[in-house]
A = this chain, B = another copy of it.
Amino acid sequence: MRVDGVPYRTIWPAEDGRRVRVIDQRALPHAFRIAELASLADAAEAIADMWVRGAPLIGATAAYGVALAMVEDPSDAGLARAEDRLRRTRPTAVNLRWALEAMRAALAPLRPERRAAAAFARAAAIADEDVAINRAIGAAGLPLIAAIAARKRDAPVNVLTHCNAGWLATVDWGTATAPIYRAAEAGIAVHVWVDETRPRNQGAALTAWELGRHGVPQTLIVDNAGGHLMQRGAVDMVIVGTDRTTARGDVANKIGTYLKALAARDCGVPFYVALPSPTIDWSLQDGLRDVPIEERDPAEVTDVLGRAPDGRVGPVRVCPDATPAANPAFDVTPARLVTALITERGVCPASAEGLAGLFPERLRA
């Protein structure tokens, strides 16, 4: 999407085709920095130290990391070393493993001297595939926004979102944001309520940044405020992303999503989840029972990262020292609270039947 008018992706090859550039997301929202990845080590560091984050973007970065490794050492040993190195950066990232397998499948059959060029081509294809999926999610979600816009006439459509399922988490477009950006491009007046999304404030830091830089009207709110806004009719729809969706449509997403789904149900506001189909875990049914919830560092709760008036970026403690804190990173929204899923193949009910209708090849014999 655009940053102050200039189109960007989150990752792209440099002019010489042998290096890669990424937006260094550690600096956001306080600075916009481009980082250059010139080696396997750079790519591994970019993933491990979260210069890049978001499952699809991690996958694309891993793919380019293999490509950079093939410039350095295109041998079978070099390929194995690259895979091993990159896999260890974020051990639980599904897209990362998938991207590494795709790269191996493309490169292993080739002679070493052909691998570097093929790797860059395959990595570019992986990035393009992510863009295509997200653009398709946007196309599927656009009519949902357009229908509300038609009902509201000239008033803006108010969309509430949680966390960052935006273009910064993908190669472009984002998942939850794709319908919003598509609507904005289609000339529909859209306004986004951005949940700050404690503890890591991805809404305040990333979603607010990307919407603001692209020029989409928005208002930042604390996570506590969404229910009140829905009660008052100030929210027309909710669109969130998901880290993992079960085969029956239960949705694991950033902590706090469940509370917004409850408020949406109570207030008659439609609650949509946008997702690329690779995030559907067809092996799971009951999200509450089956999805493990990551428990993260309590310091993310006791300390808040931000920029002081003197410009320094760092943490401040918001509670007494030595206060015990718990930090579950995700929650599960039961399918019964989800109005519909927005996928790259279209919109479907959050149910086994709904998903099977869009993805019939997944039906068991």
Give residues in A with beta carbon < 8 Å to B.
29-30, 193, 196-199, 201, 204-205, 208-209, 212-213, 218-229, 231, 254-256, 258-260, 262-263, 266, 288, 293, 301-309, 313-320, 322-328, 330-332
A29's nearest neighbour on chain B, judged by CB, is B320
Output the least CB separation between A207 and chain B (Å): 9
B320, A209: Cβ atoms under 8 Å?
yes
Q: How far is the CB of A1 from chain B (nearest CB, A)?
A: 15
B196 touches A198 (CB 8 A): yes
A196 adjacent to B306 (CB under 8 Å):
no
Q: Main SS of chain A's interface residues?
A: mixed
Contacts of A198 in B (CB 8 A): 196, 198, 222-224
Chain B residues within 8 Å of A319, by CB: 29, 196, 201, 204-205, 208-209, 220
Residue from the list B219, B231, B259 in contact with A325, Cβ < 8 A = B219
Q: Do A266 and B255 touch (CB < 8 A)?
A: no
**Nearest CB in chain B: distance from A296 CB, A:** 11
17 extra A-B contacts, CB within 8 A, seeds A220-B301, A220-B324, A259-B260: A196-B318, A204-B318, A208-B319, A208-B323, A212-B320, A218-B323, A222-B256, A223-B224, A227-B256, A228-B255, A228-B293, A231-B331, A304-B304, A305-B318, A306-B316, A306-B317, A314-B316
Chain B residues within 8 Å of A303, by CB: 306
| Complex alpha-carbon distance, A288 and B228, angstroms | 10
With A205-B318, A263-B262, A319-B29 in contact, do A324 and B218 touch (Cβ < 8 Å)? yes
> Beyond A220-B324, A221-B325, A262-B262, is A196–B301 a contact (Cβ under 8 Å)?
yes
Residue numbers in B under 8 Å from A29 (CB-CB): 319-320
Are A223 and B226 closer than 8 Å at their CB atoms? no
CB nearest to A265 among chain B residues: B262
Once the chains bind, are A219 and B324 in contact (CB under 8 Å)?
yes
Q: Are B255 and A222 in contact (CB under 8 A)?
A: yes
Residues of B within 8 A of A197 (CB): 224
